[in-house]
Amino acid sequence: AAKMRVLGIETSCDETSVAIVEEGERVLSNIVASQVDLHARYGGIVPEVASRHHVERFIPVMCEALASAKTTLDDVGLIAVTNRPGLLGALLVGVSAAKALAMALRRPIVAVHHLEGHLYSAFLADNTLYERLPLVALIVSGGHTQLVWMEGYGRYALLGATRDDAAGEAFDKGARLLGLPYPGGPNLSKLAEGGDPSRISFPRGMISEGLDFSFSGLKTALRTFLEKDQGATSLADIAASYEAAIVDVLVAKLRRALQATGAKTACVVGGVAANRLLQRRMRAMAVEEGLHLVMPEPTLCTDNAAMIAAAGYWRYRTCGADALSFDTLATAPL
Ligand code: KG4
């Protein structure tokens, strides 16, 4: 039988993305139009600006995704779209387009949870993962920090989550305090490369308690440090020390979750998984613990539609299509 081509759509935040993925595994195209430069001058994402740009860019991005996959809408067998959680106005653009396409093409449609998409980025990166379940996933993005136990499609349990800021938010807020441009995470990480991570001992929030996270104390510690320091310490050393504090906590928590559950497979997904120090430290931990660890390449870690198509394929295989009347939600648990 011909392999099913899934058209994936992601517009939950500031990336307009459309992808074509064969079954749950082969990415034929994954086009991402980022609005980062548009929001940079506001120092953060402006929801209404994001929605308007999704409307402008959706059709060109979809055409590029079809062309670069050398395919047409006629060959699409399934439509998968992020419907939760995210900026409501941004989500509505992708959901409305997806429903119109499904109706006009008479194809099944599935509604995908954004974090489920992040989980499935690991399955795109490593097709052997299906045989290695259960796994523990660390989802670290700008809006979320969660440890998830996963046994199969739709079978998830939340092991821990942040009580305040997300890991990506800690990077972004730290960068802002250091005077770095938005988006802060990658900029802070670049600055940290030449610095000494042991120069300042920033707090490792909740590092030895349970599986929840807390990053707001770290941000406050940085602000207090900068006020007292008055420019005496090099910015590279401060950035490196700050980054090390976040990474130490993430590595320690994933290790504890694996030890608590006995899982031997793990993945780290979401925008922060693109962080080089985090990748190095996680790989070292995986060797020590004898784990199979998957950290997808950066283009699959940050928001993209290929991961939504992959999750959508498995949703369709497991639960069938969704009714065209499905809802769009700003907040929703995994
Ligand atoms: O997954 P994502 O693209 O969007 C959300 O769904 O939130 O994640 C974006 C987050 C931002 O907070 C960004 O600063 C962070 O991921 N990020 C990084 C790096 N690349 C992206 N943080 C640290 N180091 C990086 N290299």
Tens digits of pLDDT across the chain (334 residues): 789 999 999 999 999 999 999 999 999 999 999 888 888 878 778 899 999 999 999 999 999 999 999 999 999 999 999 999 999 999 999 999 999 999 999 999 999 999 999 999 999 999 999 999 999 999 999 889 999 999 999 999 999 999 999 999 999 999 999 999 888 999 999 999 999 999 999 999 989 999 999 999 999 999 999 999 999 999 999 999 999 999 999 999 999 999 999 999 999 999 999 999 999 999 999 999 999 999 999 999 999 999 999 999 999 999 999 999 999 999 999 9
Q: Is 305 helix (H, G, I), strand (E, B) or coil?
A: coil
pLDDT on residue 60: 97
pLDDT on residue 39: 80
> Which uninterrupted H or E stretch holds 28?
strand 26-34
**Domain architecture of the chain: domains with CATH:** 5-119+301-319 (3.30.420.40), 132-296 (3.30.420.40)
Q: Which atom of ligand 1 is nearest to the CA of 298?
A: 20
List CB contacts of 306: < 8 A, sequence separation 6 or more. Answer: 8, 19, 21, 27, 30, 121, 124, 300
pLDDT on residue 74: 97
Which residue, by CA, sits nearest to atom 24 of ligand 1?
275
Q: Which atom of ligand 1 is nearest to the CA of 172?
A: 14
Which residue, by CA, sits nearest to atom 23 of ligand 1?
185
| Ligand 1 midpoint to CA 36 (Å) | 11
| Ligand 1 midpoint to CA 186 (Å) | 7
Q: Which atom of ligand 1 is nearest to the CA of 278?
A: 24
pLDDT on residue 278: 98
| Ligand 1 midpoint to CA 104 (Å) | 36
CA–CA distance, 55 with 94 (Å, rounded to integer): 9
pLDDT on residue 182: 82
Q: Environment class of residue 288 by beta-carbon count within 10 Å: exposed (0-12), middle (13-18) or buried (19+)? A: exposed
| Ligand 1 midpoint to CA 171 (Å) | 8
pLDDT on residue 128: 95
pLDDT on residue 38: 81
Q: How many helices (H) and strands (E) does the chain have?
A: 11, 10
Q: Which atom of ligand 1 is nearest to the CA of 184?
A: 14
Which residue, by CA, sits nearest to atom 3 of ligand 1?
302
pLDDT on residue 9: 98
| Ligand 1 midpoint to CA 313 (Å) | 25
| Ligand 1 midpoint to CA 58 (Å) | 22
pLDDT on residue 94: 98
DSSP single-letter state for residue 30? E
pLDDT on residue 183: 81
CA–CA distance, 116 with 281 (Å, rounded to integer): 24
Q: Which atom of ligand 1 is nearest to the CA of 12?
A: 6
Q: Which atom of ligand 1 is nearest to the CA of 243?
A: 23
Pocket of ligand 1 (CB under 6 A): 13, 141-143, 168, 171-172, 183-186, 189, 270-272, 274-275, 302-303
Which residue, by CA, sits nearest to atom 13 of ligand 1?
185
| Ligand 1 midpoint to CA 283 (Å) | 19
In contact, 30 and 15? CB cutoff 8 Å: no
| Ligand 1 midpoint to CA 169 (Å) | 8
CA–CA distance, 257 with 262 (Å, rounded to integer): 8
